[in-house]
Every structure is written in structure tokens, then in C-alpha cells.
Amino acid sequence: MSDPSLSLANCEVLVELRRIADALERLTPQEQPKTDLSSAEAFIWYADQGRLSPVHRVNRVELGLLRGIDRVRDQLNDNTERFAKGYPANNALLWGARGMGKSSLVKASHAYALEKLHLLKTFVPLKLIEIHREDIDSLPALMVILRESPYRFIVFCDDLSFDADDTSYKSLKAVLEGGIEGRPDNVIFYATSNRRHLLPRDMMDNERGTAINPGEAIEEKVSLSDRFGLWLGFHKCSQDDYLEMVRAYAHHYGIQTDITHIEHESLEWSTTRGSRSGRTAFQYIQDLAGRLGIHLK
């Protein structure tokens, strides 16, 4: 007869092995379903999940409503259109005054290129992918996904900048130009920032003061911006430009109030906000429309 104690021991071992197997299965990363890149014109990259989430309705401002930035608007549109058609184009850094339409221009330029491409009989669809600032170090993983795709992509990072102890900018440098693989031919990188050189001045000053060769330390930091072939500067607008923005929004949304009253009120609004910009103009129009009971569509 078999020893009952041995049978009991075997059962306990099997139970323990099953528990270990279940625990290992839970620890094993689950394969993420592949994103259907034909399902939308825009996506958001979620680095922690390793996936692209489709955006079926992009929050855009119409290109015609972006006033006071005609030169940079035309430059970015030309660059985007060339890229969409498969011709050489540059990574672009849109830097400067806050609220002057940097991120709005990127999204509007994408729509502009799509409209141009739809006039052609054949074209490669252009996709817009937003990557969050804190996920910049995951760019190489994103490039692996995009490299083999038949589509063309604008990878967009809004409000890009780096703190003094942040080294993730090195991942961006490698993707833009410096790595072995480099940037895929079907990918271009657009970023917005309040800083022209993306790094805080005190960080550069500290590097200069502590480095054996200060010049080399500064070159290391400034070289990140050099990876962007197209630098587009946005500057504070004049009062005339600001009023033109207000009038354009009022006309676009069908606000019929006396224009002189609108101009006077919008100037007071900008004074309380401490700035004149496209963002301030739109915030005033939102307030005015709310008081008048008008829906902004």
C-alpha cells in the first residue's frame, strides 16, 4: 500500500507549483493588441502600455484663425507638405511667447497637409502622433513601431523642455539624428517650447562653471536644439495683431455685437490678463459668447 503521507506531500507540491505558475503568468507582460493605424488621423502614444490610442476628433483651431504669425505659418505648412509628399523636410522647433499659437499651428498644419494631399489621386496618409513630455525616453520604442509602417508620421511633443537633472534629452538627440538607426524616413518630429534651447539657463551656467572644458559642456546642451533644422520663433503680438485676432474670432463665431465695443472690452480683458496673445483673444471671446448665450461650434 502507498504511504498516505507521500500522497499528501505530492498534492501539496502540486498546489505550490500551480501557485508559482499562476504568479509567473501574472508577471509575464501581456502582448498588447496592435493598433490599426488606418482607424484615425491622429493618435496619442501611451508609453507605459506601449500602444497608440486613436483620436477620432482632433482639438484644432482653423488655420485662418491663426493671425499675426503669417511667416512661420507658411514655413511650417511648406515643410509639412513637402514631408507628406515624400520629399526631404526638417524637424521643427516652435519656440517663444506663450499663447501665440505654437501647438495650434502644428495641428492646423497637419490638417492643411491632409487637405492638400486629398487633392491628389494617390498619396500616403499623414498621421499625427502626440507624445507626452514625460515619455520622451520611450521614443526609441515608438520608432520601432512606426519604422515599418506604410504611413508617414508627425510625432508632436507640446511644451518640451528639460530640468537640470533630466537626462532623457539624450534619447531625443539620438532619435533625431545621432543614433545608429537615426530617424526613420517616414517620421518627422515637431516640438513646441517656451525655450529656444530647451534647457534652463542655470543648467548651462552650472555646466560652464563645473566642467573641465566649459565650451564642450555648453555644446553638449545646445546641440539638442541644433537637431531641429527648422526654428520658428513666436513673439508677443502688437495691439493691432491682438485686435485682429479678436475680430477674426468674433466673425468666425457669428458674434454680432458692436465691433467697437468688442475691441474696447477685449483690450480691458488683455490688461487684466497681463498679456496680448491668441490665447487671450480666444478666452475673451469665450467669455463674451457665454454672456451673450452663444454656442461656439
Do residues 255 and 44 make contact, with C-beta atoms less than 8 angstroms apart? no
Integer-rounded Cα radius of gyration of the chain: 26
| Ranges of H-type helices in 139-277 | 139-147, 169-173, 201-210, 214-226, 239-252, 259-273
How does DSSP classify residue 187? E
- Closest by CA to 184, choosing from 140, 215, 216, 221, is 140
pLDDT digits (tens, 9 = 90+) for 61-92: 999 999 989 999 999 999 999 999 999 999 99
* Amino acid present at 79: N
Residues of the chain with pLDDT under 70: 1-11, 13, 24-33, 121-123, 164-168, 178-181, 198-223
Q: Domain spans of the chain?
A: 42-234, 239-292
pLDDT of residue 117: 83
In total, the chain counts a number of residues equal to 297
Report helix, strand or coil for 110. Answer: helix
Q: Judge whether 99 and 275 are in contact, CB under 8 Å.
A: yes
C-alpha span between 252 and 269 (Å, rounded): 20
Query: So what's the pLDDT on residue 293?
Result: 93
pLDDT score of 164: 65
Cell of 7: 500522497
User: Whole-prediction pTM value?
Assistant: 0.79
pLDDT of residue 27: 65
Exposure letters 140-172 (e unless 16+ CB within 10 A, then b): eebbebbeeeeebbbbbbbebbbeeebeebebb
Q: Name the amino acid, one letter, at 178.
A: G
* DSSP one-letter code for 76: H
The CATH classification number of 42-234 equals 3.40.50.300
**Closest-CA residue to 247 (of 285, 287, 275, 297):** 285
Residue 81 sits at φ, ψ, to 5 deg, of -65, -40
